[in-house]
Amino acid sequence: MAYSVLYTTYFDNITKCYCNILILNEDSINDNDLLSITKNVKLNNISPFNNYNNCANCNNTYTNCIRAFIDDNQNYITTNNVTTLINKLTTIGYSIDTNNTKLLKKNNFIRNLVFIINKN
C-alpha cells in the first residue's frame, strides 16, 4: 500500500508558534507499524480566513483532524527534521517511491506533497 506524506501548517497553542508538520494523507491506515509513529491531531484554524472547516478553502486532503508523524519524544516531526521521519520509516520497512513522487510533484496533483512511501 502506498501512502502520501504531506506537510501542513500547525499552530501550537502552547508555544504560540507556527510550524510545518509532516502528516499522512490517508484516513484509513492498516499498518500497526505506521500507526505507532503517528497520532491523531486536531488542527487549529490558522486564521478566520483560512478555516479547515470551510469547504471552499480546502479540498478532501485537508480536514480539521489529521494523522501526524511523531518522534521518539512524542513531538511532531516537522519539515525541518524530515530525516528523522525517513529513518523511522526505513526502520519499519518503508521506502520512498521516488518515481511516483516526481510524477505527482511535477504535475502538482497533491498539494503540499513531500513524498510517497511504500512498504518494502
pLDDT tens-place string over residues 60-108: 444 578 899 999 999 999 999 999 999 999 999 999 999 999 999 998 8
- Buried/exposed code over 16-47 (b: 16+ C-beta within 10 A; e: otherwise): eeeebbbbbbeeeeeeeebeebbeebebeeee
- Say which residue, 90 or 55, is predicted with more confidence: 90
- With a pLDDT cut of 90, the percent of the chain lying above it is 61
57: pLDDT strictly greater than 60 = no
| Weakest-pLDDT range from 20-29, 37-46, 58-67, 79-88 | 58-67
The confidence band for 43, taking pLDDT boundaries of 50, 70 and 90, is confident
| Cβ–Cβ < 8 Å for 117, 90 | no
pLDDT at 12 over 90: no
pLDDT at 66: 87
Q: What is the mean pLDDT of the chain?
A: 85
Res 53: pLDDT:
46
